[in-house]
């Protein structure tokens, strides 16, 4: 159940010294020529590894990925880009690849430069540790404030899709502080991976929020090497798309469940909107509302906060369409509002998750979102992040 579940992929991890203890440098590569694609944060402040990896994808097909935790290499100027390029070049030298065939991902403290005197020697050890059993170690090495590794696997006819991700705080589209590496032995032609990845990311990693903060480093990468031997057909492509979606949705769900200080998960469903984009805007607004999230933490079924958030969802320079006289809202499976009229029923928010279902009765637009509560521990973790 790891990033090496698909045939022809190996991974390794070592402690480079960027973090005080534990593995903090991961390496993933395909032993067979692969094709791939990636999606990145749309934050205007983009980390050096994002800039460099974008350039590399324009020049070559990715064959290997280097991921470090502890240091984001963001807001580090020209020197940060040089450091990212040096990392890719050294990994390429060790693996017998061109530098442009290596993508670099970083996560950690913004404004702090990579320590190349630690990274470059550690890469030698990471390269020598590569194994088809190295996936779990790699998944551990990319964590920051996460409490556990995040891995997922899905099987299809003649192929597998495996992935790892990190993310706990600074989680919000587009994308979120998250990194994800997904590998598959399904056969894809150059240029095809992006067509499968883009809709999958929109429905998984771009439909979650922990704290409404969009990171500088977010990256989702998929590599495909065709080693599974699957034969292409319309049915096979559909099976692959389903498997890719399953892995990404699983990883996205794990990220939210492990949100910094999270104790409660809410699955938000908006239907009956005037359009899909408006439905997503409303779902996103509910998912990021501090008042909704703190109510969830207190297990307080204060559904008025959900309604107020829905009515103030930014869209196209104004707010998404909503008619309060037509809205129906179910909270934790209990109808609290029907066609604008309250039911005077108080739901119980027991356990660790609930559903929030909003029907606007305006059209066919729909969207789903996943969010976590906002707890005291979230403040503590982020107040002490650098200390």
Query: Would residue 276 count as lying in a domain?
Result: yes
Residue 177 appears among annotated catalytic residues: yes
- Tens digits of per-residue pLDDT, 113-140? 999 999 999 999 999 999 999 999 999 9
Statement to judge: residues 337 and 278 lie in one domain: yes
Query: Would residue 1 count as lying in a domain?
Result: no
Statement to judge: residues 180 and 310 lie in one domain: no
Query: Would residue 192 count as lying in a domain?
Result: yes
Query: Would residue 4 count as lying in a domain?
Result: no
The two beta strands, 179-184 and 219-224, are parallel
Statement to judge: residues 74 and 56 lie in one domain: yes
| Domain carrying residue 36 | 9-257
How sure is the predictor about 385, in pLDDT bands with cuts at 50, 70 and 90? low
Query: Would residue 2 count as lying in a domain?
Result: no
Query: Would residue 270 count as lying in a domain?
Result: yes
Q: From residue 129, how far is each of 28, 31, 64, 84, 126 by CA, in Å?
A: 11, 14, 14, 22, 5
Statement to judge: residues 135 and 240 lie in one domain: yes
- Which percentage of the chain shows pLDDT scores above 90? 79
C-alpha triplet 94, 100, 103: angle, nearest 5°: 80
Query: Of the residues 235, 257, 279, which one is the last residue of a structural domain?
Result: 257
- Tens digits of per-residue pLDDT, 148-166? 899 999 999 999 999 999 9
Q: Which of 41, 107, 144, 177 is catalytic?
A: 177
d(CA 66, CA 83): 13
Look at residue 255 in the predicted model and tell me its pLDDT: 87
Q: How many domains does the chain have?
A: 2
Region 52-78: what's the mean pLDDT?
A: 96
**Beta pairing partners, 153:** 162
- Tens digits of per-residue pLDDT, 23-39? 999 999 999 999 999 99
Look at residue 176 in the predicted model and tell me its pLDDT: 43
Query: Of the residues 230, 257, 284, which one is the last residue of a structural domain?
Result: 257
The edge-to-edge listing of strands for the beta sheet with 150-156 is: 35-40, 219-224, 179-184, 159-166, 150-156
Cβ contact 332:348 at 8 Å:
yes
Query: Would residue 23 count as lying in a domain?
Result: yes
Q: Look up the CATH number of the domain holding residue 331.
A: 3.10.20.340
CA-nearest of 60, 66, 56, 61 to 28 is 66
Cβ contact 327:358 at 8 Å:
yes
pTM of the model: 0.83
């Amino acid at each position: 159940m790891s990033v090496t579940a698909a045939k022809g992929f190996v991974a390794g991890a070592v402690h480079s010294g960027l973090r005080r203890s534990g593995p903090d440098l991961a390496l993933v590569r395909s032993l067979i020529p692969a094709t791939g694609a990636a999606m990145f944060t749309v934050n205007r402040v983009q980390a050096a590894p994002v800039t460099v990896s974008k350039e590399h994808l324009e020049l070559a097909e990715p064959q290997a990925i280097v991921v470090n935790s502890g240091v984001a290499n963001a807001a580090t100027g020209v020197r940060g880009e040089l450091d990212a390029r040096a990392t890719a070049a050294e990994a390429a030298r060790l693996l017998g690849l061109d530098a442009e065939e290596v993508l670099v991902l970083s996560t950690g403290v913004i404004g702090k430069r990579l320590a190349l005197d630690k990274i470059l020697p550690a890469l030698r050890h990471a390269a020598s540790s590569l194994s088809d059993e190295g996936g779990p170690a790699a998944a551990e090495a990319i964590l920051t404030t996460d409490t556990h590794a995040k891995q997922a696997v899905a099987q299809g006819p003649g192929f597998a899709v495996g992935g790892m991700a990190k993310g706990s705080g600074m989680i919000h589209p587009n994308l979120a502080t998250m990194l994800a590496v997904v590998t598959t032995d399904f056969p894809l032609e150059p240029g095809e991976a992006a067509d499968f990845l883009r809709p999958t990311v929109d429905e998984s990693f771009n439909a979650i929020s922990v704290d409404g903060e969009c990171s500088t480093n977010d990256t989702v990468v998929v590599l495909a090497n065709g080693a599974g031997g699957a034969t292409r057909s319309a049915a096979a492509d559909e099976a692959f798309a389903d498997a890719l979606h399953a892995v990404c949705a699983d990883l996205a769900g794990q990220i939210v469940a492990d949100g910094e200080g999270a104790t409660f998960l809410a699955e938000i469903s908006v239907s009956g909107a005037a359009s899909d984009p408006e439905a997503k805007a409303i779902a996103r607004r509910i998912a990021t509302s501090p008042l909704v999230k703190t109510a969830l933490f207190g297990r307080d079924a204060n559904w008025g906060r959900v309604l107020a958030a829905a009515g103030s969802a930014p869209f196209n320079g104004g707010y998404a369409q909503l008619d309060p006289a037509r809205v129906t809202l179910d909270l934790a499976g209990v109808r609290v509002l029907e066609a604008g009229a309250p039911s005077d029923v108080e739901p119980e928010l027991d356990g660790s998750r609930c559903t929030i279902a909003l029907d606007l009765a305006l059209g066919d637009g729909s969207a789903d979102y996943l969010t976590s509560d906002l707890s005291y521990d979230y403040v503590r973790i982020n107040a002490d992040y650098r200390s």
